[in-house]
Amino acid sequence: MIIYLRPFLIFMLMTLVSLAHAQTRVQYNLIVKDTIVQFSGKKRHAIAVNGKIPAPALMFNEGDHAVIHVKNEMDEETSVHWHGLLLPNLQDGVPYVTTPPILPGATRTFEFPIKQAGTYWYHSHTNLQEQSGLYGSIVIHPKKEPAKADKELVLLLSDWTDEKPEEVLRTLKRGLEWYGIEKKQPASWNKIIANGGFKNRIRQSWGRMPLMDISDVYYNTFLINGLQEQQLTGFQPGEKVRLRVINGSASSYFNVQFAGSALTAISADGLDIEPVVVGRALISIAETYDFVITIPEDGMAYEFRATAQDGSGYASAFLGGGMKMKALDIPRPNIYNMSMMDMMMSGPNGVVSGGMEMGEMSQEGMEMPGKMKMERDGEKTMLHDQMKMPNDTMQGMDMIHQKSVSGNEPDMRTLNYDMLRSLTSTALPATNEWREIRLELTGNMWRYIWSLDGKTLTEADKIIIRKGDNVRFILVNKSMMNHPMHLHGHFFRVLNGQGDYAPLKHTVNVPPMGTVTLEFSANEDKDWFFHCHILYHMMTGMARVVSYEGSTVAPELAAARKDIKEKMDNQWFFWGMGKLHNQLSEWELTLSNTRNQLNLEEDGDWKGDFDVDTDYERYLGQNGYLRIFAGATVDGKQVLVLQNGEPASTKMEEEIEVRPLVGVRYLLPFFINSELRIDSKAKVRLQLNGETLLFPRLGFRWLVNTDKEWRAGLEGILTKNIALSGNYDNRYGWGGGLTLLF
* Closest C-alpha among 146, 168, 137 to residue 57: 137
Left, alpha or beta for 134 (phi > 0: left; psi -120 to 50: alpha)? beta
Query: Of residues 81 and 564, which shows the higher confidence score?
Result: 81
Query: Of residues 227 and 648, which shows the higher confidence score?
Result: 227
* Closest C-alpha among 182, 169, 96, 95 to residue 132: 169
Q: How many CA atoms lie within 13 A of 428 on its CB side?
A: 22
Please determine, looking at this structure, whether the domain spanning 434-554 carries the CATH number 2.60.40.420: yes
**Distance (Å, rounded) from C-alpha 149 to C-alpha 290?**
11
Mean pLDDT for 580-587 is 96
Is 60 exceeded by the pLDDT of residue 555? yes
pLDDT at 224: 98
pLDDT at 650: 60
Domain range 23-142, its CATH number among 3.30.980.20, 2.60.40.420, 1.25.10.10, 3.30.565.10: 2.60.40.420
Is 50 exceeded by the pLDDT of residue 631? yes
**Distance (Å, rounded) from C-alpha 27 to C-alpha 32?**
16
pLDDT at 264: 97
Torsion over CA: 511, 421, 310, 41 (sign): positive
**Distance (Å, rounded) from C-alpha 215 to C-alpha 332?**
12
* Closest C-alpha among 67, 49, 48 to residue 114: 67
Query: How sure is the predictor about 558, in pLDDT bands with cuts at 50, 70 and 90?
Result: confident
**Distance (Å, rounded) from C-alpha 502 to C-alpha 422?**
6
pLDDT at 386: 30
Mean pLDDT for 291-295 is 97
Give the dihedral of Cα atoms 541, 544, 545, 550; nearest 10 deg. 130
| Most confident stretch, 16-20, 390-394, 484-488, 648-652 | 484-488
Is 50 exceeded by the pLDDT of residue 31? yes
Mean pLDDT for 325-352 is 79
Residue 337: phi and psi, rounded to 5, are -140, 45
Mean pLDDT for 493-513 is 97
pLDDT at 148: 83
Note the pTM of the prediction, 2 decimals.
0.88
Contacts of 131 (CB under 8 A, 6+ apart): 159, 161, 165, 168, 250, 535
Q: List, for residues 59-71, the tens digit of each pLDDT value.
A: 999 999 999 999 9
**Distance (Å, rounded) from C-alpha 27 to C-alpha 127?**
27
Residue 276: phi and psi, rounded to 5, are -140, 130
Q: How many CA atoms lie within 13 A of 7 on its CB side?
A: 2
Assigned superfamily of 146-178+209-332+384-415: Cupredoxins -  blue copper proteins (2.60.40.420)
Q: List, for residues 187-208, the tens digit of each pLDDT value.
A: 999 999 999 999 999 998 998 8
Contacts of 587 (CB under 8 A, 6+ apart): 576, 577, 578, 579, 600, 601, 602, 603
Mean pLDDT for 235-253 is 97
Query: Mean of the per-residue pLDDT values for the chain?
Result: 88
**Distance (Å, rounded) from C-alpha 428 to C-alpha 471?**
10
Mean pLDDT for 675-690 is 97
First to last CA, the chain: 88
pLDDT at 647: 64
Query: Of residues 228 and 210, which shows the higher confidence score?
Result: 228
Q: Which helix (H) or strand (E) holds 15?
A: helix 2-23
Mean pLDDT for 254-283 is 97
pLDDT at 553: 86
pLDDT at 392: 42
Residues in the chain: 742
- Ranges for all domains in the chain classified under CATH 2.40.160: 573-641+648-741
Q: List, for residues 80-91, the tens digit of each pLDDT value.
A: 999 999 999 999
Mean pLDDT for 655-666 is 96
Q: Are 87 and 111 in contact (CB under 8 A)?
A: no
- Ranges for all domains in the chain classified under CATH 2.60.40.420: 23-142, 146-178+209-332+384-415, 434-554
**Distance (Å, rounded) from C-alpha 308 to C-alpha 313?**
6
SS3 572: coil
**Distance (Å, rounded) from C-alpha 462 to C-alpha 459?**
10
User: Which range among 268-282, 379-393, 434-448, 684-698 shows the weakest confidence by mean pLDDT?
Assistant: 379-393
* Closest C-alpha among 161, 79, 160, 173 to residue 127: 79
pLDDT at 14: 55
**Distance (Å, rounded) from C-alpha 494 to C-alpha 510?**
11
pLDDT at 359: 32
**Distance (Å, rounded) from C-alpha 364 to C-alpha 368?**
10
Mean pLDDT for 54-79 is 98
**Distance (Å, rounded) from C-alpha 709 to C-alpha 649?**
31
Query: How sure is the predictor about 176, in pLDDT bands with cuts at 50, 70 and 90?
Result: confident
pLDDT at 214: 86
pLDDT at 46: 98
User: Which range among 235-239, 565-569, 618-622 shows the weakest confidence by mean pLDDT?
Assistant: 565-569
Is 60 exceeded by the pLDDT of residue 554? yes
Q: How many CA atoms lie within 13 A of 72 on its CB side?
A: 19
Query: How sure is the predictor about 12, in pLDDT bands with cuts at 50, 70 and 90?
Result: low
Is 80 exceeded by the pLDDT of residue 609? yes
| Most confident stretch, 12-21, 82-91, 553-562, 633-642 | 82-91
Share of the chain above pLDDT 90, in %: 76
Residue 206: phi and psi, rounded to 5, are -60, -35
Q: List, for residues 431-488, the tens digit of each pLDDT value.
A: 999 999 999 999 988 899 999 999 999 899 999 999 999 999 999 999 989 999 999 9
Q: What architecture does CATH give domain 573-641+648-741?
A: Beta Barrel (2.40)
pLDDT at 340: 65
Residue 137: phi and psi, rounded to 5, are -100, 155
Q: List, for residues 354-399, the tens digit of each pLDDT value.
A: 333 333 333 333 333 332 333 333 333 333 233 333 344 444 443 4
pLDDT at 48: 98
